[in-house]
Amino acid sequence: MKKTILVILFNFIILSIYGQYKTPDSLSINKNIKFKYQALVIPTTLIAYGVIGLESHTLKDINTDTKEEINEHIDNKFTIDDFSQYSAFLSVYALNTVGIKGKNNFKDRTIVLASAYLIMGTTVNLIKMTGNELRPDGTSNNSFPSGHTATAFMGAEFLYQEYKDVSIWYGISGYLVAAGTGFFRMYNDRHWFSDVAAGAGIGILSTKMAYWFHPLIKRTIFKNKESLNGIIMPVYNGKQYGLGMSMSF
């Protein structure tokens, strides 16, 4: 099972490298652009920590110690992480609604967000289905990686990319909320620290990949689409809260 997880993550990272190494123009005129390795350092380090944590006794001890330290200070559980995971990327639309414009228009940022969500969601669910990591509360064997944390950090990177030229503080606030989401996943005894680390890395890298591939996606899929309409709505399946996205073009 762990070999399958490694293969999925390896292909995930290779795709991200390809996305930054080639532009849509390079596909037609074979022109390479400069590869920025530093963009991969943080997310791949977080992912590597999480993967190593599946086997390393030292990192497993850190997981256990972190759980015990948090449990000592728990009075009541809070499900704020079910909602905070979405706050960063929803903030992008809220800010645009009140007139604070980001990098992209509605069409382009929605394509980026949908792409990032698809990449992140597919990666997380594939790993969860092929893995066998028991949750701290013992309820299921799909602990690795943290999907809530991946969603939160995907949104934080999205907020950062859209508003870093307006004010760096938008991005910082998004990452603080994302870190809080990861903390509450541990606080609520749903994830180990290594699950949260890997989820954060996957979330960040998914958004970076979405921006790198956006010119190609826009050119090939949305080439003749002048407008894009969409709606984001809350959903509830009786056990979990979430958001659904519908787009027409």
- pLDDT at position 9, please? 57
pTM reported for the whole predicted model: 0.82
Confidence (pLDDT) at 88? 96
User: What domain count does the chain have?
Assistant: 1
- Confidence at residue 40, expressed as pLDDT on a 0 to 100 scale: 86
- Half-sphere exposure of residue 172: CA atoms within 13 angstroms, side-chain side: 5
| Position 69, amino acid | E
pLDDT of residue 241: 53
Per-residue pLDDT, 56: 93
Cβ atoms of residues 108 and 93 within 8 Å: no
For the chain, which residues score pLDDT lower than 70?
1-36, 75, 222-249
Q: What's the pLDDT at 235? A: 46
Give residue 160's domain range: 2-228
Q: Is residue 235 part of a domain?
A: no
**Is residue 248 a part of any domain in this protein?**
no
| pLDDT for position 243 | 53
Give residue 131's pLDDT: 84
Q: Could you give the count of Cα atoms lying within 13 Å of 179 in the half-sphere of its Cβ?
A: 7
- Asked if residue 223 is part of any domain, the answer here is yes
How many Å from the N-terminal Cα to the C-terminal Cα in the chain? 40
Q: What is the pLDDT of residue 139?
A: 92
**Residue 248 burial (C-beta neighbours within 10 Å; 0-12, 13-18, 19+):** exposed
